[in-house]
């Protein structure tokens, strides 16, 4: 016998899956926006090194910058 699917349960499952996908997409987009802001701050002479250290220490809840800065001090 085939199982009868409950439409309400199926709808709830679809909604939960959509929420997970949207949350992931929003996190990725916010991280990209944050990277652009970090690059702008770096070009304007802001202290981005201390900001990155705060992220590493877990003191800032926003996504950590994923952009890797190359050191120009040689």
pTM (two decimals): 0.54
Residue-wise pLDDT for 26-61, tens only, equals 888 887 887 788 888 888 888 877 877 877 787 776
**44 assigned to some structural domain:** yes
Q: Which domain holds residue 50?
A: 35-69
**4 assigned to some structural domain:** no
Q: How many structural domains comprise the chain?
A: 1
**45 assigned to some structural domain:** yes
**28 assigned to some structural domain:** no
Sequence-distant (6+) residues with CB within 8 A of 63 are 27, 30, 31, 34
**5 assigned to some structural domain:** no
In whole angstroms, what separates CA 58 from the centre of its chain?
15
CA distance 54 to 60: 6
H helices within the chain, ranges in order? 7-43, 48-56
Of the pLDDT bands very low, low, confident and very high (cuts 50, 70, 90), residue 22 is very high
Task: Please give the share of the chain, as a percent, with pLDDT higher than 90.
Answer: 18
């Amino acid at each position: 016998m085939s199982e009868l699917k409950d439409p309400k349960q199926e709808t709830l499952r679809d909604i939960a899956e959509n929420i997970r996908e949207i949350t992931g997409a929003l996190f990725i987009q916010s991280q990209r926006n944050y990277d652009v802001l970090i690059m702008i701050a770096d070009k304007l002479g802001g202290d981005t090194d201390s900001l990155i250290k705060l992220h590493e220490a877990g003191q800032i809840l926003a996504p950590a910058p994923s952009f890797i800065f190359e050191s120009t001090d040689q």
